[in-house]
């Protein structure tokens, strides 16, 4: 049995992993999906000074309080940066780090949220609306479900990935690349550059999924199968 710790993406919460977690348990594995400070069911108690380091600490504390070892730590999108940050802190608790179509952090570099001046001043990045999700989620009911539960993303100016000496690379890394762009779009230059970097970096085990970036939400069976394959 493998224990998966599942880290959600921006604007989200542990609820984003609900269907995948059910499938992992059905296959005989265990999983937890902590919600990061200020998001999901923790949005109502959000302090004003949330940073990337806060979210990394959330995961580190989750691993410690649950006394978890040899964990497969999975981060989706923004959650991949958080997962790598936790891996830099406690590599001894992890068996593998998995990035599900995630951001790849660089030491000392900011997370590329690209907010407006007004959003940066407010400290929050508004979540996508149901209409914003129409090119990646075709099911109107699912779009509504997701949009209703997303919350503003904390956007502290201190969101710079810490320089920790690359301890995370003590742990095997797998990148699950979602290769289908949103409907009507092509892969942009930034994504092409990231894909090329991962393909040529021997530290990554690269695997492809025939999904778009929100595949976690509309095809949990495919994501769960990919994770189960890593555990076997």
Is the per-residue pLDDT at 77 higher than 90? yes
pLDDT at 43 over 60: yes
Within 4-160, where are the H helices? Answer: 18-26, 52-65, 78-89, 117-122, 140-149
In the chain, domain spans: 3-231
Residue 134 vs residues 77, 111, 129, 137, 168: alpha-carbon distances, Å: 18, 25, 9, 5, 36
At 199-221, the pLDDT tens digits run 889 999 999 999 999 999 999 99
Distances (CA, A) of 150 to 31, 33, 62, 181, 210: 22, 16, 22, 22, 25
> Which DSSP state fits 70?
S
Phi, psi of 111 (to 5 degrees): -75, 135
- Sequence-distant (≥ 6) Cβ neighbours of residue 6 within 8 angstroms: 14, 17, 20, 21, 31, 32, 33, 74, 76
Q: What is the DSSP letter of 135?
A: T
**φ/ψ (deg, to 5) at 164:** -115, 10
Q: Which residue has the higher pLDDT, 42 or 154?
A: 42
pLDDT at site 31:
98
Q: Are 156 and 49 in contact (CB under 8 A)?
A: yes
pLDDT reading at 192 higher than 90: no
pTM value is 0.93
Going by C-alpha positions, the residue among 110, 107, 57 that lies closest to residue 86 is: 57
pLDDT band at 193 (very low <50, low <70, confident <90, very high): confident
The fold of the 3-231 domain, in CATH, is: Rossmann fold (3.40.50)
Average pLDDT, the chain: 90
* pLDDT band for position 182 (cuts 50, 70, 90): low
* Joined tokens for residue 95: 């068996």
Q: What is the pLDDT of residue 164?
A: 77
Average pLDDT over residues 178-198: 72
6 closest CA partner among 46, 40, 49, 53:
40
For residue 117, what pLDDT is reported?
63
Which range is least confidently modeled, 29-38, 108-117, 125-134, 193-202? 108-117
């Amino acid at each position: 049995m493998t224990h998966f710790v599942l880290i959600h993406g921006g604007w989200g919460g542990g609820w984003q992993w609900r269907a995948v977690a059910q499938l992992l348990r059905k296959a005989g594995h265990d999983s937890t999906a902590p919600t990061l400070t200020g998001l999901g069911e923790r949005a109502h108690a959000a302090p004003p000074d949330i940073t990337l380091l806060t979210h990394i600490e959330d995961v580190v504390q989750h691993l410690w309080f649950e006394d978890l070892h040899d964990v497969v730590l999975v981060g989706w999108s923004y959650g991949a940066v958080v997962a790598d940050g936790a891996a830099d802190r406690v590599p001894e608790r992890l068996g593998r780090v998995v990035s599900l179509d995630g951001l790849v952090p660089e030491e000392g570099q900011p997370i590329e949220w690209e907010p407006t001046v007004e959003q940066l001043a407010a400290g929050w990045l508004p979540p996508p609306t149901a209409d914003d999700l129409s090119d990646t989620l075709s099911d109107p009911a699912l779009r509504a479900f997701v949009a209703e539960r997303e919350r503003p993303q904390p956007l502290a100016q201190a969101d710079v990935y810490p320089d920790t000496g690359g301890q995370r690379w003590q742990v095997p890394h797998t990148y699950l690349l979602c290769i289908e762009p949103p409907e009507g779009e092509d892969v942009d230059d930034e994504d092409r550059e990231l894909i090329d970097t991962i393909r040529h970096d021997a530290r990554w085990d690269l695997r492809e999924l025939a999904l778009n970036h929100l595949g976690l939400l509309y095809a949990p069976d495919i994501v769960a199968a990919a994770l189960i394959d890593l555990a076997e």
